[in-house]
Structure 1
Amino acid sequence: MPETRWPLARIAIGCAFLQSGLIVGCWVPKIPEFAERMGVGERGLGLFIFFFGIGSLTTMPLAGRWIVRSGARVPLLIALWLSLLVLPVLTLAPGPVVGGISIFLSGAVIGLVEVSMNSAAAETERHMGRPIMSACHGFWSLGGFFGAASGGWLIAYYGLWGQTAVATLAALLLTVVASLWRESDPSHRFDAENGKRGTNWPLAALPYLIAGLALIAYVTEGALLDWSALFLREERAVPVALSGYAFGFFSAAMALMRFVGDPLRRRFSLWWLLGGGAVVGCAGLFLFGMATSLPLILVGAVLVGIGLSNMVPVLFVLSSSIPGVPAATGIAITSTIGFSGILLAPSVIGLIASWTSLGAVMVSLSALLLIFLAVLPLVRSRVAPGN
């Protein structure tokens, strides 16, 4: 691809992340109504979220193999256009059976989006020779912020279908721009030189250690994504129009820090970003679960967003540059194992919360980030110098 076209490629992949974040963010304020329509409580909602996770985990490994063999463009475009159906389908689902099928298929589409857009971003970053991964994830968080912050208000004043129509139209416009993304060299597909061997997951420990750290980060993010709105409404008596604010503030803080994450990667050690983020995120989770007033809850959400902001982008960069492992394969491993946290752990949270409370669960999750700090030196010791 000519050098002059790379700014367009960067804009296009940024729009892909923005579109994905917008759809997920718009789903957050729909969750309480979805649970009511399905006729389930916290435990039943956790089961539906589990189906969503199974759908994603089904497509993520397949997406990695597909990208290694044929490049990221076609999987990315198919995933983005299919994702436009997610919000309408979930809004239409009339009961538990159709709802379960719909949420499984929605998860499958989101799984394909996750792997393909991160693979495309990794290729774009390598071709440009400068960090862009944090900013790409910043666009995802920005989309999540706008989707969550506006979603509750749109539902309250214009109804479910009004919110769905506005969100889907915005996502459609972003998809059109994202469709302009191209591989750096169409004749030399992404990781195609690794051949069929590149489609197999390696036996080396490093990819799975990196994925384990991503798992912890995603578990924390998934807790706020799927349960923050219900936590505010049910345990803190916050009105529905404000129920998406916790995830919205979390996403806004995460987005802002991710947009400065690439310069921070150039200036400071990436290990400093990972370790410092774990400490800040741990404090934020504790405050989020313990606070009883909305302002303090939002402060906690902001701290969690700051702490987690550059964890996942940095871990994706590490997973895409492991010697002897194709970038798409490393990303697929990190996505599959890590993203399972944002998809499967919330179902466990729902079960535990039905016995205790969501606030208690949020406080207990802060211990996971202490485990992150304990494992980080082991990962660092296995990463080659300069990798």
Structure 2
Amino acid sequence: MISSQVRAGRWAVAACFFTNGMIMGSWVPQVPLLAQRFDVGEAMLGLLILTLGLGAVVIMPVCGWLISHTNSRAVLRGSAVISAFALLLVALAPNLALVALAIALFGASIGGMDVAMNSNAVVVERRMGLAIMSSSHGFWSLGGFTGAGLGGKIAEALGPIGHASVVTAAALALLSFALPRLLVERQPQQASSDTSPKVRFPSNPGVYLIGLLALLCMAPEGAVLDWAALYLRQEMGANLATASLAFTFFSGAMAVMRFMGDGVRNRLGAVTTIRISGTVAAVGMLAAGASSNPAIAIAAFAAAGLGIANMVPIVFSAAGNQPGVPSSIGMSVATAIGYCGILVTPSLIGFVAERTGFSPVYMSFAVILLVVVLLAERLRPADFIATQPSPDVPR
């Protein structure tokens, strides 16, 4: 029997996923606006995106350590409030130097929130004895769909500051519901017998391999998030509202599949689900890169979203269920490595795309996704949710 408190905690963490996705989706229309405001090309945009990624990757292990010494709810509350204002700071920044600092803070707050909400989702999974990670990421995708889909029209009507102000207000409204209802785990490892609370990297090599797989799964997502709008606008002549639809449909397709994902994964198992999903995603990315028409490219990105949808949640569940590794530490290490794919790799894409265009870049991701298919067996720990001891029960 699942208590009302646990059910409330499940919806609270879902709201956090939605909010995080909405803020990240709202970043999509801000990218071409940044290029217009400061008259910069893909290479400089790549450097700015790199600061976003570096802010996230630097803070993620710190948040993992904080969670292991406090709890995921406390870290999630703090990082979520900062995230709500971060995009507005980017829009308000008057020059490139301050934009870079604001983007780094944006990345750090989003990244810290990501580690904390994924760790909290593991708490909920174990309390419920059911997989909820795919549907939680479904709420993230639904948030991304909302942020990117509405963001292009709002940004065209209100400009970057007006758009970011709307995002901040919406985020604060959602968080006022979610943050008081989050579940909290006790941390028995902080007993008085623990005389050396040191930051340690896990010795289990499986955590780092799973982090690498997370990177390979998330790199295509980052490429669509940061560059698809510019790809459609510059190479296919689409307007801003149409160009934003690439990530909108990509994220919407992910949301639909992720809400189905827990049932699919419970029926087929993590390994088979990864193999099927990775193949579909590879075909979609190949078609998106080969297209010369915005409508076809948008449809291909949607197909890729269907495939990628359940890959990242399965990877994160595997990271949080590694034998002998606390879920918060395994999650933070795998998330930090994985987020190099969504937050750091896209900065390199800018340098490559300035010389080759985006088409070959997107086609190359088909090969990357097939590597994950070949290594799918490594993600079998994602099936062990119910057999792991709950992190909020002293042991």
| TM-score of the aligned structures, taking structure 1 as reference length | 0.94
Rounded Cα–Cα distance in structure 1 between residues aligned with 2:65 and 2:59: 10
Rounded Cα–Cα distance in structure 1 between residues aligned with 2:47 and 2:121: 32
1:239 paired to 2:239: yes
Q: Which amino acid aligns with 2:300?
A: G
Query: Taking structure 1 as reference, are residues 198 and 120 closer, same or farther at Cα in structure 2, changes over 3 Å only?
Result: farther
Rounded Cα–Cα distance in structure 1 between residues aligned with 2:279 and 2:180: 39
Q: Is the 8 A contact 2:210 2:334 kept in 1?
A: yes
Query: Taking structure 1 as reference, are residues 382 and 37 closer, same or farther at Cα in structure 2, changes over 3 Å only?
Result: closer
Q: Which amino acid aligns with 1:203?
A: S
Aligned to 1:189: 187
1:319-351: CA deviation from partner (whole Å, max 9, x where unpaired) = 111111000001001110001111110111100
Matches within 5 A, 1:102-121: 102-121=102-121
Aligned to 1:176: 176
Rounded Cα–Cα distance in structure 2 between residues aligned with 1:325 and 1:372: 23
1:339 paired to 2:339: yes
Q: Is the 8 A contact 2:317 2:382 kept in 1?
A: no
Runs of 4+ more than 6 Å apart: 381-387
1:213 paired to 2:213: yes
Please state how far the C-alpha of 1:203 moved relative to its aligned partner: 1.8
1:78-126: CA deviation from partner (whole Å, max 9, x where unpaired) = 0110011112111111111111111111111111111001011110111
Q: Which amino acid aligns with 1:277?
A: S
Q: Which amino acid aligns with 1:70?
A: T
Rounded Cα–Cα distance in structure 1 between residues aligned with 2:70 and 2:216: 31
Rounded Cα–Cα distance in structure 1 between residues aligned with 2:244 and 2:190: 42
Matches within 5 A, 1:352-363: 352-363=352-363
Q: Is the 8 A contact 2:210 2:378 kept in 1?
A: no
Aligned to 1:8: 8
Q: Is the 8 A contact 2:236 2:293 kept in 1?
A: yes
1:108-154: CA deviation from partner (whole Å, max 9, x where unpaired) = 11111110010111101111111111111100000000110111111
Aligned to 2:68: 68
Aligned to 2:391: none
Rounded Cα–Cα distance in structure 1 between residues aligned with 2:336 and 2:294: 34
1:294 paired to 2:309: no
| TM-score of the aligned structures, taking structure 2 as reference length | 0.92
Aligned to 2:149: 149
Rounded Cα–Cα distance in structure 2 between residues aligned with 1:382 and 1:336: 18
CA RMSD for the aligned pairs?
Answer: 2.1
Structure 2: gaps (5+ residues): 389-395
Rounded Cα–Cα distance in structure 2 between residues aligned with 1:99 and 1:242: 26
1:243-301: CA deviation from partner (whole Å, max 9, x where unpaired) = 21000000000000000111112211111111111100000001111111222112111
- Secondary structure class of the residue paired with 2:375: helix
Aligned residues with identical type, % of pairs = 36
Matches within 5 A, 1:1-387: 3-184=3-184, 188-189=186-187, 199-377=199-377, 380=380
Please state how far the C-alpha of 1:7 moved relative to its aligned partner: 1.5
Rounded Cα–Cα distance in structure 2 between residues aligned with 1:201 and 1:166: 40
Please state how far the C-alpha of 1:382 moved relative to its aligned partner: 12
Rounded Cα–Cα distance in structure 2 between residues aligned with 1:164 and 1:243: 19
Query: Taking structure 1 as reference, are residues 336 and 163 closer, same or farther at Cα in structure 2, changes over 3 Å only?
Result: same
Q: Which moved more, 1:329-338 or 1:103-112?
A: 103-112
Rounded Cα–Cα distance in structure 2 between residues aligned with 1:367 and 1:227: 19
Structure 1: gaps (5+ residues): none
- Secondary structure class of the residue paired with 2:6: helix
Rounded Cα–Cα distance in structure 2 between residues aligned with 1:147 and 1:252: 11
Query: Taking structure 1 as reference, are residues 382 and 138 closer, same or farther at Cα in structure 2, changes over 3 Å only?
Result: closer
